[in-house]
Chain A
Amino acid sequence: MKLLLVEDDPMVGGLLETALTGAGYTVELCPDADCAELSIKVQTYDIMILDIGLPDRSGLEVLKSLRRAQSEVPVLILSARITPPDRVQGLDLGADDYMVKPFDLDELLARLRSIIRRKQGRTEIMLRAGNVELDPVKLRVTVEGAEVALQPKELKLLALLLQQKGKPASKSAIEENIYEEGEAFESNTVEALVYSLRRKLGRDLITTRRGLGYVIAE
């Protein structure tokens, strides 16, 4: 899951980045509106956390230009503005959720999961394929009920494929989704990850579609 975090306060931004990365997101941090707008142009994100009080412009301006550009990326506003009119304005401008600072980290993570489920049209909380089950809350994977330990990147890849079951993910899409910007990766790493997932979860789970990428069958 690729997440854009727009937060101007370095302390809050840094801590959130750490927390979200720990929760399995690939996080990109922007300290101002300019950075956020540029990032949206050059990248696609699965979800966005947006602060309103940014130094250069209001976060609401970012939201407006995002929706004007027909982007459907879900947005959660995280703001120190607490009055109902502020929340109403944020939601009416196209935000999917609104949380006020200071917030509870677990609640934020739960809301992010709920937004993603809604976007994918899922009501089931667990991600499942055959006898493999991924718990997005605890970030635990089981095969026939037995827990299997996965590396963070393996987990991210599995989550990505499970969330778009039946739809193949290209190698570059996978790279973009699981590696953070500036993180060095070699071109065979995706193959290595797929190999190790097959070894841990069974050979038939992930199918290779030549020229299209990898897919988990529905």
Chain B
Amino acid sequence: MRFFSFVRNRSLASKLFGGTIAALSAYVMVIGVLAYMSAEGAISGAYDQSLVVNANALLFLMQEEAEEGNLNKPLSLNISDENLTGEEKSIFDAMSEYRMFRVWYKSKLVLSTLDKLPATVPIFPQGFSDREVGDDSWRIFSLHATSKNLVIELGEQKDARIALVWNIAQDLVLPFCISLPLVALLFWRAIQTGMSDLRKVTGQVNARSPDQMTPLESSNVPADLLPLVEAINSLLDRLDKSLSRERQITELAAHELRTPLTAIKLQAQMGLRAPDEESRLLALSGLVDGVERAGHLVEQLLTLTRVEQTDFELAEVDAGEVCIRAAAELRPLSERRNQKIVVEISEPLTALANEDLLHLTITNILGNSIKYSPECSNIVIRGNRLKDKIELEIADEGPGIPEPVREKIFERFFRYHTGKVLGSGLGLTIARQCADRMQASLMLETPKNGIGLVTRLLLPKRRSALTVSRL
């Protein structure tokens, strides 16, 4: 397995190198084959022609011998190489083995290179023919001079031709083969030079610290690497944006946490310098309030993080029941302010939601209504079944939220009503996040009579095609 993965993952340089060398080798092979074929054609032609010429020359000689009556008994032939010089001699020796001739007179063999083709081999037909004799393969030209009773046969072993063709083809291909390692070396160098740009980019990426998000240098990058560098730069850009958003959120949270801490420290210092028991107790109870407030803020921050970063399953939930439960939980708070929470839900409201998220949404909205509405006011929770949605409505008699800030109010730590209420600035942010995670919509409206705030939550009844694909 490791070997295969190595093959699959082998380096770009070795892939390029392997490819080039393979192509080059194939090229040399094709040249070799073509050279072989072309040499074979040319050599066959030339050799056949020389067979014809020599046969005619021999016929001419033999005609004279026949007219002089020398052919009535076999001639003995003694070809000597005494007149030949060194090189000529070696050529003669090398080739003589591959040649033969026979002269027939009145159907009798009168002259031949006996050992090559014995008389038992009958006369060949007129013209060219190919023949296997023993282990050898021959190319024969047979010239029939019927009027003179003469047949001249010249033959050549095909091996001679093939050897020659091979020699020519080899001479052509061999230089290629010898120079192949050198060419390969040059290719390897060229590829490595090309790869150095890639290595430069890699070096740039490697040299980065995790918080360095400036784009990579792209001015001197070759055109085919540019898309990669641009892709990396766009990734860096997106990372930078999301990181600085995270940093902003953390800074904002730290800033917000400092305020309750300031109150706690101030309260504690005043408790320390309190001149009497009564003011010390007052300072201490203020201290408890301060700690509670800081605790609430931390709690809300953690909740928001959990809602943002956890995967929640959506299932069928009775939204009405969740509302009734949330109202019961918050009733002690509302009763402290003499407020009445009325739940007007009479039928089961089955929605596609997450119980935890829905509960968080309702308690945060309801908590705001209790905090910001005047004492002795009413808070009404209604639920309706629409065609494909479940509608929940929380109406209070508080100061409301004017149109222009209705989107801003969902931003973290944005507070509209400051005054005496100590909010975390996260309640509606959490509610909106929860709604988003449930693919529900959350809207703020002014009731018809113009007093208070209506918060409307629309939950899907069942999975839409979009929901299914997203889950």
Contact = CB atoms under 8 A, between A and B. Distances in A.
B262 interface: yes
B415 interface: yes
B259 interface: yes
B418 A80 contact: no
Interface stretch (A13-21, A113-121, A155-163, A164-172): A13-21
Contacts of B255: 53, 80-81
B421 to A, nearest CB: 8
Given A18-B270, A80-B258, A106-B269, A11 B263 contact: yes
B195 interface: no
Given A80-B255, A102-B258, A19 B265 contact: no
Interface in B406-429: 415, 418-422
B286 A15 contact: yes
Interface string A170-194: 0000000000000000000000000
A61 interface: no
A89 to B, nearest CB: 15
Contacts of A106: 269
A11 B418 CA distance: 11
A12 B259 contact: yes
B270 A11 contact: no
Interface residues of B, number: 24
Main secondary structure of the interface of B (DSSP, over half): helix
Given A53-B255, A80-B262, A102-B262, A8 B418 contact: yes
B383 interface: no
A200 B262 CA distance: 40
Contacts of A100: 258
A47 to B, nearest CB: 18
Nearest to A10: B420
Contacts of B267: 15
Contact of B265 (A10, A32, A81, A104): A104
Contacts of B260: 11
Interface string A81-104: 110000000000000000011111
Interface in B44-59: none
Nearest to B272: A105
A82 B261 CA distance: 14
A55 interface: yes
A11 B289 contact: yes
A213 interface: no
A91 to B, nearest CB: 19
B290 interface: yes
Contacts of A10: 418-422
B139 interface: no
Contacts of B293: 11
Interface string B271-290: 00000000000000010011
Contacts of A81: 255
Interface in B280-325: 286, 289-290, 293
8 contacts: A10-B420, A11-B290, A12-B263, A15-B286, A16-B266, A19-B266, A102-B258, A104-B265
Given A80-B262, A104-B265, 10 more contacts: A9-B422, A10-B418, A11-B263, A11-B422, A15-B267, A15-B286, A32-B418, A101-B261, A102-B261, A102-B264
Which A-B residue pairs are the 4 nearest by beta carbons? A80-B258, A102-B262, A101-B262, A11-B263
